Chain A
Amino acid sequence: GAVVSQHPSRVICKSGTSVKIECRSLDFQATTMFWYRQFPKQSLMLMATSNEGSKATYEQGVEKDKFLINHASLTLSTLTVTSAHPEDSSFYICSAELAGGYSGANVLTFGAGSRLTVL
């Protein structure tokens, strides 16, 4: 089946540094990838939608200059948290939608998530 590899699974960094999280679709092409953030005891909050070869669409309230998303190929999307602060500490997870257009029948294939801790 479709697999999305996400890494790192855990990362600890100092305030002011940047952290990159990668998501790769291993055996399928993903024209669309979604990036989510999860706060404790809350639902997955969509941060942005990235389409291969075009700029990401950010949800309201998500700073695009802070959370840089790149989807340069059909198998790789990256999220870079720039100038990280302790309040950026969270669980980040990506999902991919199979290529071939979207429909309600397209399930999402998720990565395993990345736990970011900013000291």
Chain B
Amino acid sequence: ILNVEQSPQSLHVQEGDSTNFTCSFPSSNFYALHWYRWETAKSPEALFVMTLNGDEKKKGRISATLNTKEGYSYLYIKGSQPEDSATYLCAFKSGGYQKVTFGTGTKLQVIP
């Protein structure tokens, strides 16, 4: 069983604040790390797929980094807005397997 952990489980931030959260995953047999945003009553939406150690990806105010040697990825949101409120999921894919293993998610609420 692969252990993928996310922290914190939830957080509240004020509009305009920047924030970040963590995804930890096994450091062996790494293939890819996915980040998804899941808004209430909607489908999870892919943010990033990261495959190389040291990868940094950016999409607007959201960015992510990847460290495969130590088994973690950070997701950053700069200048949080109420529309960023969602659960952010990471998913780990190991080599040789089709499936991904999801973390429990970080639920972000941005307070106007």
Binding site for B on A (CB under 8 A): 4, 6, 32, 34, 36, 41-44, 46, 49, 93, 95, 97, 102-113
Is residue B110 contacting chain A, with contact meaning CB distance below 8 A?
Answer: no
Residues of chain A contacted by B91 (CB below 8 angstroms): 108
| Bound: A95/B98 CA distance, A | 12
* B33 to chain A: closest residue by CB: A104
Q: Does B62 contact A (CB under 8 A)?
A: no
Apart from the given pairs A105-B32, A108-B44, 7 other A-B contacts in the complex at a CB distance below 8 Å: A43-B102, A97-B98, A105-B49, A110-B36, A110-B43, A112-B41, A112-B43
Contacts of A32 in B (CB 8 A): 98
Interface residues in B, total, Cβ within 8 A: 24
Query: Is B51 on the interface with A (CB-CB < 8 A)?
Result: yes
Q: How far is the CB of B11 from chain A (nearest CB, A)?
A: 15
B44 & A49 in contact (Cβ 8 Å cutoff): no
Q: A104-B51, A105-B32 are known contacts. Are A46 and B99 too (CB-CB below 8 A)?
A: yes
Q: Name the one of A34, A102, A108, A111 contacting B34, with C-beta atoms under 8 angstroms.
A: A108
| Top 4 A-B pairs, shortest CB-CB distance | A104-B32, A107-B46, A110-B43, A43-B104
Q: Which chain A residues border B93 with CB–CB below 8 Å?
A: 104
A41 and B101: CB pair below 8 A?
no
Q: Are B101 and A107 in contact (CB under 8 A)?
A: no
Across the interface, A41 reaches (CB within 8 A) one of B34, B98, B104, namely: B104
Q: List 30 A-B contacts (CB under 8 A).
A: A4-B43, A36-B102, A42-B104, A43-B89, A43-B102, A43-B103, A43-B104, A43-B105, A44-B102, A46-B100, A46-B101, A49-B99, A95-B44, A102-B98, A103-B32, A104-B51, A105-B32, A107-B34, A107-B46, A108-B34, A108-B36, A108-B46, A108-B91, A108-B100, A109-B43, A109-B46, A110-B36, A110-B43, A110-B45, A112-B42
